[in-house]
Amino acid sequence: MYIIVVGAGNIGTPLIEIATEGGNEVVVVERDEAKAEAAAATFDCLVLNDDATVKQTLDEAGADRADAIITTTDKDATNIMVCLLAKELDIPDIVSVVHNPEHMSLYRQIGVNTMENPQRLIAEYLYRAVKRPSIVDYMRIGEHAEVFEIRVDEDAPITGMTIQEAAQENLLDGDTLIVAVEREGDDDPVTPRGNTAIGAGDLLTVYSAKGATPEVTDVFGHYEDH
């Protein structure tokens, strides 16, 4: 893919690394001279020390053949302007960081794929790591629902039960679904069925419409404050 990355700061820099290591052709546009020089010295990509809110800059970055543009600056106004120009230049895939949730509707009107305030997401992740250390990883879906990974304790109520038995005992309700089971020694995750037994040490991927609340995670043997 041919990808234009706008911004080589805290968000843009790891993105550039991932994109270049993935074998993509990457062009970076960074207004700050020091950041532009650092990116040029570190990554195998073209770096333009210029203003991405100017149409000519995006033209020089190869907008006519770009598959995607990702804008990562710390200012929503800049990101929105870049997205508008990208739309005008018919770049197929436009992605942007959104810092202020109040601006989400504007991005949607433009037709941009968004990632909400990454700093807040990181903060939530760190808080979750302290508040609910039993959860290995998680992803929020909508307002309340979450998909999370959790390891089953030896003394968990669900240990030794099949999924069907756990549902009959009301350990799993209609709002909670185990979607994958990873076991030590197995190369691939198991797609669970009703007769799949849950064992101690299993790493489960769980969908919960209520989120990863203590009431939900207690089932897997992690007893936290309610």
pLDDT, one tens digit per residue, over 160-184 is 999 999 999 999 988 899 999 998 8
Contacts of 44 (CB under 8 A, 6+ apart): 20
Identify the pLDDT of residue 189: 86
In a domain, 123, yes or no: no
One domain, residues 136 and 47: no
If one compares 62 and 141, the residue with the highest pLDDT of the two is 62
CATH of the domain at 180: 3.30.70.1450
**DSSP codes, 131-183:** H-TTEEEEEEETTTEEEEEEEPPTT-TTTT-BHHHHHHTTSS-TTEEEEEEE-
| pLDDT exceeds cutoff 60 at 226 | no
Token output for 6: 């706008």
Q: 66 pLDDT exceeds 70?
A: yes
Over residues 17-26, the mean pLDDT reads 95
Between CA 3 and CA 6 the distance in angstroms is 10
Mean pLDDT of 70-83: 93
Give me the phi and psi of 24, to 5 degrees please.
-85, 155
Which range of residues forms the domain containing residue 68?
Answer: 2-116
Residue 162: inside a domain, yes or no?
yes
Does residue 78 sit in the same domain as residue 163?
A: no
Q: How far apart are CA 150 and CA 78, in angstroms?
A: 39
Q: CB count, 10 Å around CB of 66?
A: 22
**Residue at a domain's end among 82, 116, 150:** 116
100 and 152 in a single domain? The answer is no
Query: Do 107 and 211 share a domain, yes or no?
Result: no
Q: What angle do CA 174, 180, 182 make, to 5 degrees?
A: 140
CA 45 to chain centre: 24
Instruction: Tell me, yes or no, whether 8 and 96 share the same domain.
Output: yes
Range from 32-46, 126-140, 206-220 that averages highest in pLDDT: 32-46
Average pLDDT over residues 107-119: 77
Per-residue pLDDT at 139 exceeds 80:
no
Is 127 among the domain residues? no
Q: Is 125 within a domain? A: no
Please indicate, yes or no, if residue 34 is contained in any of the structural domains: yes
The number of folded domains in the chain is: 2
Residues 97 and 147 occupy one common structural domain: no
Short-list 54, 59, 93, 96, CA closest to 75:
96
| Structure tokens that stand for 26 in this block | 């990457």
Residue 214: the pLDDT is 82
Same domain? 65 vs 100: yes
Q: Mean pLDDT across the chain, nearest whole number?
A: 88
pTM over 0.75: no
Same domain, 8 and 33: yes
Domain end call among 116, 150, 177? 116
Res 73 pLDDT > 70: yes
Residue ending a domain, among 72, 92, 116, is: 116
Whether 169 and 198 share a structural domain: yes
Cα angle 68-74-77, degrees, rounded to a multiple of 5: 80
